[in-house]
Amino acid sequence: MQPNQPIYENLKAALLEVGYSQAGLTEQLGSAAPVTRADLNTTLLRTSEATPLNCLIRLFHLGVEVPEDLGTAALPAKLLSDMTDQGWLRLEQESIQASVAISVIDEYHFFSDSFNKLAGGDASSFVLPGNTQAGRRLKQIMLAQQGSRALDMCCGCGVHAVLLSDYYEQVVAADISPVALDYARLNAAFNGKSNITFIQSDFFADLAEQRFDHIVCNPPFVLGPEQVFDYRDNPLPLDELCAQLIQRASAHLAEGGYLQMPCEWTEVSGETWRERVDGWFNNSDCDAFVLRGSPLTPGDYVALRSSDLTGPGLHSTAGLQRWLDYFAEHSVLAVHPALLTLRKRTGANWVHYQSVGPFPDGDLGAAVQQGIEACDTAAALQSDQALLQATLRVNPQAELEQNFVREEQQWAPARALLKLPGPLQRPVEADMAVLAFLNNLDGTLSCEQAIRTFAEASRADTARLQVQLLPVMRLLISNRLLLIKSITS
Same domain, 335 and 461: no
Domain membership flag for residue 288: yes
Same domain, 250 and 353: yes
Report the distance separating Cα 390 and Cα 409, nearest Å: 44
What is the domain count for the chain?
Answer: 3
Contact assessment for residue 345 and residue 286, using Cβ atoms and an 8 Å cutoff: yes
Contact assessment for residue 443 and residue 393, using Cβ atoms and an 8 Å cutoff: yes
Same domain, 287 and 429: no
Q: Residue type at 300?
A: D
Same domain, 203 and 343: yes
Same domain, 344 and 440: no
Contact assessment for residue 340 and residue 290, using Cβ atoms and an 8 Å cutoff: yes
Same domain, 311 and 352: yes
Q: Give the residue from 345, 372, 399 where a domain finishes.
A: 372
Same domain, 57 and 184: no
Q: Give the residue from 98, 116, 133 where a domain finishes.
A: 98
Same domain, 90 and 233: no
Report the distance separating Cα 104 and Cα 44, nearest Å: 19
Domain membership flag for residue 456: yes
Task: To the nearest 10°, report the CA torsion of 183, 184, 187, 188.
Answer: -150
Domain membership flag for residue 114: no
DSSP string, 404-472: EEEETTEEEEEEEEEE-SSTT---EE--HHHHHHHTT-EEEEEHHHHHHHHHHHHT--HHHHHHHHHHH
Same domain, 46 and 85: yes
Domain membership flag for residue 106: no
The enclosing domain of 180 has a CATH number of 3.40.50.150
Integer-rounded Cα radius of gyration of the chain:
26
Contact assessment for residue 175 and residue 230, using Cβ atoms and an 8 Å cutoff: no
Domain membership flag for residue 103: no
Which DSSP state fits 44? H
**Domain hosting residue 80, numbered range:** 5-98
* pTM of the predicted protein model: 0.91
Contact assessment for residue 182 and residue 158, using Cβ atoms and an 8 Å cutoff: no
> Contacts by 69-74 with C-beta closer than 8 Å and gap 24+?
69/94, 71/95, 71/96, 72/96, 74/50
Domain membership flag for residue 117: no
Report the distance separating Cα 169 and Cα 79, nearest Å: 33
Report the distance separating Cα 449 and Cα 266, nearest Å: 46
Contact assessment for residue 364 and residue 141, using Cβ atoms and an 8 Å cutoff: yes
Contact assessment for residue 96 and residue 66, using Cβ atoms and an 8 Å cutoff: yes
Which DSSP state fits 230? T
SS3 162: helix
Q: Give the residue from 341, 372, 403 where a domain finishes.
A: 372
Domain membership flag for residue 193: yes
Q: Do the strands 391-394 and 482-486 form a parallel or antiparallel pair, or are they unpaired? A: antiparallel
pLDDT under 50 in the chain at which residues?
1, 310-314
Longest Cα separation, the chain: 90
First CA to last CA across the chain, in angstroms? 63
For 141-159, b where at least 16 C-beta lie within 10 A, e where not — what string? Answer: bbbeeebebbbbbbbbbbb
The enclosing domain of 388 has a CATH number of 3.90.930.50
Domain membership flag for residue 471: yes
Same domain, 72 and 138: no
Same domain, 225 and 310: yes
Helices and strands (H, E) in the chain, number of each type: 19, 19
Same domain, 402 and 436: yes
